[in-house]
Amino acid sequence: MRGLEGRKERQFDMTFNYKETFDRFSFYFLTIFISPILFGVFMALYSMIAFQDSWSFGPTVLVVGIYSWPFFAFGAFPVSIYIDFSARTRDYPHWKKAVLYAGFGGLAGLLGSVILYNLYSMIFMLTFGLFGGLIHFFVLALIKRFFK
């Protein structure tokens, strides 16, 4: 009988570990869907302030959200997993993590300027990437704080 109890405890531990892993990753998946929308809001507000005859607010948010989603999904997602779970960066304070997110966002912005070529200058794309990285960091921090 003792062997059966041990198996049940291990099964419970594995189920709990899978649930904990799923809960952790769900924060990151939710963040990669919210961050492009907030980035689109930021870009729509920027375009309304900087360029008086820009698109309306809704289409700008939609287009920027669609174009920036791959950068958040394939760039920010693995970077945020690395920053939060790496033994090297796990215990960094929030401001250091914010700087790391901004730095990686800037690199993603530079990559975006290469992909979009002459549409925007490299300095603007670097700045937009910095803000995108910070938006992703703050959304992830708020989701973690709200759901824990």
Residue pLDDT, tens place only, 8-49: 555 555 566 667 777 778 888 999 999 999 999 998 888 888
**Quick one: pLDDT band at residue 130, thresholds 50, 70, 90?**
very high
The long-range contacts involving 54-63, CB below 8 angstroms and separated by at least 24 positions, are 61/37
pLDDT of residue 26: 86
CA-to-CA dists, residue 98 to 49, 54, 73, 89, 122, angstroms: 26, 31, 18, 12, 22
Does residue 63 have a pLDDT over 50? yes
Position 104 confidence tier, pLDDT thresholds 50, 70, 90: very high
Higher pLDDT, 138 or 125: 138
Sign of CA dihedral 138, 80, 121, 62: negative
Calculate the average pLDDT of the chain. Answer: 83
Say whether pLDDT at 52 is over 90. Answer: no
- Residue 102's pLDDT is what? 94
Q: Which residue has the tokens 């700087």?
A: 99
- Give the model's pLDDT for residue 1: 47
Give the number of other Cβ atoms within 10 Å of residue 44's Cβ: 22
- Whether residue 108 is predicted with pLDDT greater than 50 in this model: the reply is yes
Confidence of residue 2 (pLDDT cuts 50, 70, 90): low
- Of 134, 135, 129, the C-alpha closest to 100 is 134
